Structure 1
């Protein structure tokens, strides 16, 4: 297609550079620099998602291409990672888990716009209830709906995260926080 924009939103190489840094560094989640590296890696992927949303919003790409680009980024970022250091594998797995609703919310927003009219925190509370009942598909669905609202400009108050039990919903809300940061400041996170 000659009319396809030559815009690259994310690349395998970019993700690999982050993974290489994670592999090379001494990671201690309690250490601020280690935590910052993981947050930057997560935010960087969220920024790529926001770039797709922006290109779609500006009519630089159509719905089909936007969904396709999101799928490409998702495949890169959510591909299974195996480090020799099992703890690092677990840390990256946590980042990937956090990013799952970011991809789905962006896709949902492109296809259907924002969903629902309840506030973001109500969707998150509903997700937490669903997780407590082991209804994980429903929980993810609520988080994705919250994500579409955040994309539409609603505010995610991260104090709600303090009330969540540690689990998937807490990780997903962490991803929504990255999405919100990327939307408010879609500047590229420097890899070095």
Structure 2
């Protein structure tokens, strides 16, 4: 009878390390965003009257890039462009590729329209609010599969994520936006 001690030990180690923290993934991410990563809204973003009435939770850093997609490539070349950002809560302008700290009003964060012009063409795209806590949990599960935790570690993280307190979830715009 063959024994598989090493695979069993690895699986147990991954399971225990995934369960080792006292905080759930949403609490960890929420506490990081609310303390160490508390960001101010970028100076080139102006809150509208409606935005000033909403309770501002934090700002989320978003990297915006513009791609010419005539070839429909998976990773098209990035182009510099001037973009305007508008929503019912704020407006602003940005030269991309670049980073901007956008206001987050939690679940009340409105959709944002980005219009970018590179001199040749103008592209407009609407960006919806994203559950950043859920996005981070999905990234953690994918990283667990890729970096040695395997499917068991990803399953443990998924289980922990499904039992999180969803009232603590943070919402905002995606960390990366590619306008094309």
TM-score, normalised relative to structure 2: 0.30
Which of the pair is proportionally richer in strand?
Answer: 2
Structure with the largest fraction of helix: 1
